[in-house]
Amino acid sequence: MSDEIKQLKLWTGNHYNEGIGRDDIFDKLREECGVFGVFNIPNASSLSYYGLHALQHRGEESAGICTVDTADNNNFAYHRGMGLVKEVFDKEKIASLKGDRSIGHVRYSTAGESKLANAQPLIFRYRDGDLAVATNGNIVNAPEIRKELESQGSIFQTSSDTEVIAHLIARSPKDFEAAAKEALQRLVGGFAFLLMTNDKLLVASDPNGLRPLVMGKMGNNGYVFSSESCAFESIGAEYVRDVQPGELLILDENGMREDRYATVERRATCAMEYIYFARPDSDINTINIHSARKRMGKQLAMESFVDADIVTGVPDSSISAAIGYAEQTGIPYELGLIKNKYTGRTFIQPSQELREQGVKMKLSAVRKVVEGKRVVMIDDSIVRGTTSRRIVNMLREAGAIEVHVRITSPPFKNPCYYGIDTPDRKELIASSRTVEEIREMINADSLFFLSNEGFIDSVGGNDGAYNRGMCLACFDNDYPTPVNEESDKSCSC
């Protein structure tokens, strides 16, 4: 609707950028939100502010916090807005969100004011009082549940599928906890849920554990929940464990109870979290992301060594892997590509004319570093190939004599139904092309993808902690839940 919010964001490596131009939208995967919960800790909104700030890379377009104040009749308060956490909240707003419980959310994308209504946490008023919902992921069968609810007279305020869970709960004759459990059982997909009423906080992960969700503790009997563990480090909380697939945690005046609403047939953590989305200082299933990526780089070196002068990573997500590749091969690691991190929402994208003159948006090659060199360029994935081609050409124009592209994941061939915004299958370059065809399209001297087995080994590493239960559907078409062509792919949040 408006041009204001035409930027999408990606997170890359040990830093993450503030936005890329529209034409890049279709060539990078987009993360689908982050959630953060606080239970039984004073100034919950303030902690949420810092927690969500640490999850900012998971969603830069809207932010929201809802609090419950047990010292004041379990009152609800909330604030949501478009923009970064630091833009949506100021001291006054945080102070006005009183309470010792909260749930918060960052969201990756939207389009204009009319979508502020979709910013989470969603807030509902129903029979038993207030209900707030924050989620990360996607409910595959939301459209059919929604249709069913509408036929029964439900009305929806948002286009967000997340709203269906609130209606399922409100329509149930059972009490909130039982109703929520029943509602969760109806949902198919990959999701992490935080549900808060005046009395209770519920925390749930989907039956395959597709989307990450971790639990921490803080102070006396205080709990925190987060999409990624990096938020715990930033607020001084202690990591306890990952929320398990099919698990349902109930927190109220009696403390926390651990329950489950589904049996787990297959654990299937999203592989792209390890490859691309999560911050390098987060751990998922106790595996550190930076370390996993470095192992991917090493594995890639073992699988596809090439004689070259320097190794460089596409900032920011491929930095760790590039370091690993360099370490394994002994080829020096260099900053051959550099990113301007000031580029953000209000940045004026260069016109076509300026681009042709050579004005670059945010990534540029470092001439003195790459000139006359044979370059190994590490990247995390190739979606449509247009960005890869642009970067390869950028390196060549800066004087690289050879550009060897190494990808730290297997070819991305199939769309995601669990909360990652992917183009249609036919637009995925790897869905219908050989590696050699892709290499030619991106103008590389050579191109290798990490093997499925190599990737799995890299994530698991040597620490034996990992049970290999990942969702690799985007690579191998083996979806952990039923899906069909009509299934909803767009993110529920």
Q: Is 234 in the site for its own copies (CB under 8 A)?
A: yes
CB crowding 64-103: b at 16 or more within 10 Å, else e? bbbbbbeeeebebbbbbebebbeebbeeeebeebbbbbbb
Which residues, numbered 15-74, are part of the site for its own copies (CB under 8 A)?
A: 15-18, 43, 46-47, 49-50, 53-54, 56
Q: Is 142 in the site for its own copies (CB under 8 A)?
A: no
- Using the minimum distance from each CB to its own copies, give the nearer residue, 191 or 333: 333
Of 181-189, 345-353, 434-442, 474-482, the window that binds its own copies (rule: CB under 8 A) is: 345-353
- Using the minimum distance from each CB to its own copies, give the nearer residue, 283 or 380: 283
Of 244-252, 255-263, 362-370, 373-381, the window that binds its own copies (rule: CB under 8 A) is: 362-370
- Judged by CB under 8 A, the residue of 182, 233, 252, 427 near its own copies is 233
- Judged by CB under 8 A, the residue of 348, 464, 484, 486 near its own copies is 348
Which residues, numbered 424-483, are part of the site for its own copies (CB under 8 A)?
A: none
CA atoms within a 13 Å half-sphere pointing along the CA-CB vector of 115:
17
Q: How many residues bind to its own copies according to rule CB under 8 A?
A: 108
111, 435, 485 from 275: Cα distances, Å: 28, 19, 26
- Judged by CB under 8 A, the residue of 26, 244, 347, 384 near its own copies is 347
- Judged by CB under 8 A, the residue of 256, 264, 338, 401 near its own copies is 338
Segment holding 194, helix H or strand E: strand 189-197
- Judged by CB under 8 A, the residue of 209, 212, 280, 411 near its own copies is 280
- Using the minimum distance from each CB to its own copies, give the nearer residue, 278 or 438: 278
Of 227-235, 251-259, 410-418, 452-460, the window that binds its own copies (rule: CB under 8 A) is: 227-235
- DSSP-derived letter for residue 110 is -
- Using the minimum distance from each CB to its own copies, give the nearer residue, 238 or 307: 238
- Using the minimum distance from each CB to its own copies, give the nearer residue, 125 or 425: 125
Of 14-22, 197-205, 377-385, 419-427, the window that binds its own copies (rule: CB under 8 A) is: 14-22
Which amino acid makes up residue 348?
I
Which residues, numbered 94-133, are part of the site for its own copies (CB under 8 A)?
A: 94, 96, 112-114, 116-117, 123-127, 131
Of 189-197, 247-255, 274-282, 406-414, the window that binds its own copies (rule: CB under 8 A) is: 274-282
Q: Contacts for 476-483 with beta carbons within 8 Å, 24 or more apart?
A: 476/410, 476/414, 476/452, 477/413, 477/414, 479/417, 480/208, 480/210, 480/266, 480/268, 481/140, 481/188, 481/189, 481/190, 481/208, 481/417, 482/140, 482/188, 483/140, 483/417
Is 416 marked active-site? Answer: no
Burial category of 239 from C-beta neighbours within 10 Å (exposed 0-12, middle 13-18, buried 19 and up): middle
- Using the minimum distance from each CB to its own copies, give the nearer residue, 30 or 439: 30
Q: How far is the CB of 361 from its own copies (least distance, A)?
A: 9
Q: How far is the CB of 340 from its own copies (least distance, A)?
A: 6
330, 451, 454 from 446: Cα distances, Å: 19, 16, 19
Which residues, numbered 281-320, are part of the site for its own copies (CB under 8 A)?
A: 281, 283, 288, 290-291, 294, 315-316, 319-320
Structural tokens at position 172: 């149930």
Of 194-202, 363-371, 416-424, 437-445, the window that binds its own copies (rule: CB under 8 A) is: 363-371
Tokens 């009490």 belong to residue: 175
Calpha distance 193→371 (Å, rounded): 50
Burial category of 227 from C-beta neighbours within 10 Å (exposed 0-12, middle 13-18, buried 19 and up): buried
CB atoms within 10 A of CB 455: 25
- Using the minimum distance from each CB to its own copies, give the nearer residue, 74 or 154: 154
Of 23-31, 170-178, 429-437, 447-455, the window that binds its own copies (rule: CB under 8 A) is: 170-178
Q: How far is the CB of 222 from its own copies (least distance, A)?
A: 10
Which SS3 state, helix, strand or coil, does residue 492 take? coil
Q: Is 368 in the site for its own copies (CB under 8 A)?
A: yes
Calpha distance 187→99 (Å, rounded): 31
Q: Indicate the length of the chain as a whole number.
A: 493
Q: How far is the CB of 4 from its own copies (least distance, A)?
A: 9
- Judged by CB under 8 A, the residue of 218, 278, 438, 491 near its own copies is 218
Q: How far is the CB of 11 from its own copies (least distance, A)?
A: 10
Tokens 């890869």 belong to residue: 388
Calpha distance 417→487 (Å, rounded): 8
Q: DSSP for 29-71, please give it.
A: -B---EEEEEES-SSHHHHHHHHHHHTGGG--SEEEEEEEETT
| H-assigned helices in 330-420 | 352-357, 367-370, 386-397
- Judged by CB under 8 A, the residue of 178, 255, 259, 332 near its own copies is 332
- Using the minimum distance from each CB to its own copies, give the nearer residue, 2 or 484: 2
- Using the minimum distance from each CB to its own copies, give the nearer residue, 173 or 424: 173
Which active-site residues does the annotation give? 33
